[in-house]
Amino acid sequence: MPLIRRNRRNADQAETAPERVCFDGISATVIERTTDFVTVKLDDGTQPSVRPHKVTTCTCGGRGCK
């Protein structure tokens, strides 16, 4: 009988939902955020780095932008 191993997560490695934002009217996922830039991943796979004032919060679980 094969041995099944399960990895346990530490409390500090808890998964959080990725932050969804709106960039140029398109929903995007935040990859990295610094004081000067926000790197987002668009649905087409591109990952532009933009100024923080260029992104806004999304509504409806990322399906619509304000």
pLDDT digits (tens, 9 = 90+) for 35-56: 999 999 998 999 999 999 998 8
Other residues' Cβ atoms within 10 Å of the Cβ of residue 28: 26
- Find the mean pLDDT for residues 12-31: 79
Structure tokens at 14: 């808890």
Global pTM value: 0.64
Residue the block writes with tokens 């009988």? 1
Other residues' Cβ atoms within 10 Å of the Cβ of residue 5: 5
Residue the block writes with tokens 């490695």? 13
Residue the block writes with tokens 């929903």? 27
**58 pLDDT higher than 80:** no
Looking only at the bridges linking them, the beta strands covering 64-65 and 55-59 are: antiparallel
